[in-house]
A = this chain, B = another copy of it.
């Protein structure tokens, strides 16, 4: 029997057909099978099935005061890392019975707050903020005790803001691992290029890297660091690498704070016919899956974005259960290519 399109079936439709009250149908539809006679239960269950009754989530949300919707706020989705987080989070939420609203904050406090407001109006059940930026709305949201999970970038500073749960990697340690690799490979004083340090993730990577190099006896002032505030990391990498090279020539080894920046730096090398990794050993962070296919010259710290989703949902559920916020650090690992 083909199931064609039909009009919506509500509790009252079923109640009328079965000759019982909506209360009874509601209870049975919600699985309270011991609050009605077995006959009634059987009859209603059958009707629910044949008529394909599906509860109106809007009405349910209004009544219960909570929805099955979780908001994900993230900057630029066109970044592959962001896509991987969105993908895994969506899958994990779905598995847990939730649905995800996606908001692109463009890394701007204003937009982030505007979305936080809109999501609040939607009575979303939780907030996943990827690469959060410091803002009043975020501070209020967290301080109000709403279920918030920060991902990728640690909590930005804001006066009197409470702590929120976190999912990400240990970026300091990732930076240190990259430094180790370059040092081990014979690079005495590796350089580093990075995007805006207002991102705690970037700042941590750079700090971990520098500390590790310094620990081998290198004077801090000898480590060349160049930043670019360009939001687009491809462009940021291109500009920062140009500056770096102009001011002191090519380093033997270079940490790029993200793979996208490494791609930008690669273009500078190509334009100057500098061999990578022969003349300059480059390490990125993210381990974009494309590296294995088209960037065989790039080593990179793998960040398990595909595992973020599950961890994020666990953090949300902990929050719903009333647990205090905690950090969840996922393992990273260096992928070497040369």
Cβ–Cβ < 8 Å partners of A58 in chain B: 58, 61-62, 67, 122-123
Is residue A32 within 8 Å, beta carbon to beta carbon, of the partner chain? Answer: no
5 closest A-B pairs by CB: A5-B144, A77-B87, A263-B293, A102-B102, A83-B83
Q: Does any Cβ of B come within 8 Å of A23's Cβ?
A: no
Q: Which of A67, A80, A102, A270 has the most CB of B within 10 A?
A: A102
List CB contacts (< 8 Å) of A19-64 with chain B. 54-59, 61-62
Q: A76 vs B59: C-alpha distance in the bound complex, in angstroms?
A: 31
Q: In the complex the two chains form, what is the Cα distance from A140 to B4 in whole Å? A: 6
| A294 interface contact, C-beta 8 A | yes
Name A's interface SS: helix
Tell me if A310 counts as interface (CB < 8 A to partner B).
no
Assembly CA distance A143 to B3 (angstroms): 13
Is A272 in contact with chain B by the CB < 8 A criterion? no
| Given A100-B101, A136-B3, A266 contacting B289 (CB threshold 8 A) | no
Give 9 pairs: A residue, B residue, CB < 8 Å, sorted on A.
Answer: A3-B140, A5-B143, A54-B117, A82-B83, A101-B102, A102-B102, A266-B293, A267-B292, A294-B294
Interface residues of A in 171-223 (CB under 8 A from B): none
Q: How many copies of the polypeptide does the oligomer hold?
A: 2
Which B residues are in CB contact (< 8 Å) with A140? 3-5
A82 to B90, CA, bound (A): 14
| In contact, A87 and B80 (Cβ under 8 angstroms) | no
Distance A289 CA – B296 CA, assembled complex (angstroms): 18
- Interface residue from B59, B83, B121, B293 paired with A62 (Cβ < 8 Å): B59
Residues of chain B lying within 8 A (CB to CB) of residue A270: 296
Tell me, rounded to whole Å, the shortest Cβ–Cβ distance linking A196 to chain B. 20
Report yes or no: A77 in contact with B90, Cβ–Cβ below 8 A.
Answer: yes
Assess A99 versus B118: contact at CB under 8 Å? Given A104-B91, A143-B5, A263-B290.
Answer: yes
Q: How far is the CB of A222 from chain B (nearest CB, A)?
A: 30
- CB pair A77–B67 under 8 Å, yes or no, is no
Q: How far is the CA of A35 from the CA of B290 in the complex (A)?
A: 61
A94 to B141, CA, bound (A): 21
**A102 in complex: contacting residue of B59, B86, B264, B289, CB < 8 Å:** B86
Chain B residues near A296 (CB-CB < 8 A): 270
In the complex, which of the residues B62, B86, B289 contacts A77, with contact meaning CB atoms closer than 8 Å? B86
* Interchain CA distance A101-B119 in the complex, whole Å: 12
A91: chain B residues at CB < 8 Å are: 104
What is the CB-to-nearest-CB distance from A125 to chain B, in angstroms, rounded to a whole number?
12
Asked if A316 lies at the interface with its beta carbon under 8 angstroms from chain B, I say: no
Any B CB within 8 A of the CB of A234: yes
Q: Whose C-beta in chain B lies nearest to the C-beta of A294?
A: B263
Known contacts A69-B101, A78-B83, A90-B103; 9 further A-B pairs (Cβ under 8 A): A3-B140, A54-B117, A56-B121, A57-B122, A77-B86, A78-B84, A101-B102, A234-B293, A294-B295
CB distance B117 to A56 under 8 Å?
no
In the complex, what residue of chain B is closest to A119 when comparing beta carbons?
B99
Q: Find chain B residues with CB under 8 A from A62 CB.
A: 56, 58-59, 62
